[in-house]
Structure 1
Amino acid sequence: MLFHLRSLLNNAALRNGHHFVVRNFRSGQPLQNKVQLKGRDLLTLKDFTGEEIKYMLWLSADLKHRIKQKGEYLPLLQGKSLGMIFEKRSTRTRLSTETGFALLGGHPCFLTTQDIHLGVNESLMDTSRVLSGMTDAVLARVYKQADLDTLAKEASIPIVNGLSDMYHPIQILADYLTLQEHYGSLKGLTLSWIGDGNNILHSIMMSAAKFGMHLQAATPKGYEPDPSVAKLAEQYAKENGTSLLLTHNPLEAARGGNVLITDTWISMGQEEEKKKRLQDFQGYQITMKTAKAAAPDWTFLHCLPRKPEEVDDEVFYSPRSLVFPEAENRKWTIMAVMVSLLTDYSPQLQKPTF
């Protein structure tokens, strides 16, 4: 209840929202719908309604269609600048954001820990206020979610989570766009997560039910998702009439799943735990044996980089694997995030059926 009240209060304070038209299929008359994203932060998808997340996916599809397929030039971010804070190394997050922001006419500025040491060379509060005066938005890839929360609290510009210990929302947007393109609709899909109870799983748990998707997640004992996230995910599942299964049995999680999903077992900062983690995750590798328990139309996702112990080559390089379209869609979804938070642009492409 408190979350929903806070969400309503935040929405009431927003300005310059996006407008789009959806047809009433009985009368054919347009219905005015308002999605307000301009000026907001994207720290976790739990702060966004299903319609707001769908809007970002619609905008992603629109930009991909107009730029990649039609060859249009859309300088929607001309004159805008983006600060990119990276405490962790990156391939997809950095490349997708830099090239995407520049493709839309904006100027991205990459800042490593040697350039900006969060909370050490300068306080988080001071850093946030300085960047607010020099850039139009900040994407931060950090170790601690609390650092993002502080940046957002002190900033007067949008702060976007490029990855933290708790959430990775921009990755999940790319996953959903990929599944939307493949299946035509997200509603009713069963997602089967097999792996660590990490930031990727947390982001799925904060959003899947809002699309009418079911979630079955298997994690080893001691690697379960955060209890507060699990509690809220149960609430979302109840509100949206979906199912949520948390188990320690990989085959139970895979049973009937449309989408098999995993991630690295050893994230950056966990290298010292490698030997123990590899032992604890025995039996969690996704193979064709796992796939036999899944639905006939199963597909596979992995946010990359991938290690063979997480998924074998037969699955990873199979025609069922969507990992490389998934990686490309990181670009189109982060572009959509930036456009939605910084402009009043509305999609021209017909709204997909989610």
Structure 2
Amino acid sequence: MRVIGIETSCDETGVAIYDEEKGLLSHVLYSQAKLHSQYGGVVPELASRDHIKKIIPSIKQALLEAQLTKKDINAIAYTAGPGLAGALLVGATIGHSIAYAWNIPALPIHHMEGHLLSPMLEDIRPSFPFIALLASGGHTMIVAVKSVGRYKILGESLDDAAGEAFDKTAKLLGLDYPGGPLLFHLAKKGNPGRFKFPRPMTNQPGLDMSFSGLKTFAANTIRSHRNDSQTRADIAYAFQEAICDTLLIKCERALQQTGMKSIAIAGGVSANKQLRKSFDKLTKKIGAKVYYPRTEFCTDNGAMIAYAGMQKLKNNETSNNLSIQTIPRWPIDQIKLIQENSIN
């Protein structure tokens, strides 16, 4: 069986084809970062329009790279939420239309479930159950993963997501959008120890997190010091260390509380090399194992949606319902919300 995955939740147009036996056959990704950089962030209307331009050519390219035709495809999986309402509608509409024309099922996929399962695209993958840290521009949460489709949120950010805090602080430092990767490179030039940022909520019980205060702390630090290149690098270093330490402390606590020995790190922030280095060191110390997707699958992509779609198809979670449903705000522990209305 083969599934086409379509991802249009925000500012990346992703299309991929996943084969049940051979794995990933093709992977096409178009980033809108350059389009939105002049505005300092994603403009929803522009994102939707660009998805409309890129989605059909991307599907054709994915089929061409995989050397397949429509007759070789068994289902279309698309991101149904969470995400930008207009952007989601592009992928959902195209996905349903193609599925109807080709007489195959359309599979609505939870965007964060796609990220959560993205380490499964690798040869070395976690076994159920495991803990997952999902850290991106829009979400930061720690999830207990019992099996595909069975997730429990253990903790989440009460305000800004970690990736959002990275981007906003990068902007305060005068960096372009998207700022997270640029802040990482700036931090490599920073001096350890010059600035000490707080680790929010780490002295409190529980696994919830908060990152908006770190952004404010960074803004105050920037305003109160000379605006030279070394100071900016030192602030970037301290800020990155604070984010990484906070995530590390909370995840170590989650492993201790659940007794699990495996953790998967996914989402855009999981590409941060300092974060990976910290988790490698922690898991080695406590006798646990950590898993990551390759860097190209940390950001939004069609491969993770195609993989998640294959799992739904194998479990016969298919639909002949022609109604197009998207949920811009959709907690991962309510993943059955859309399926109850669409699955036979």
The reply to whether TM is greater than 0.5 is no
| TM-score scaled by length of structure 2 | 0.37
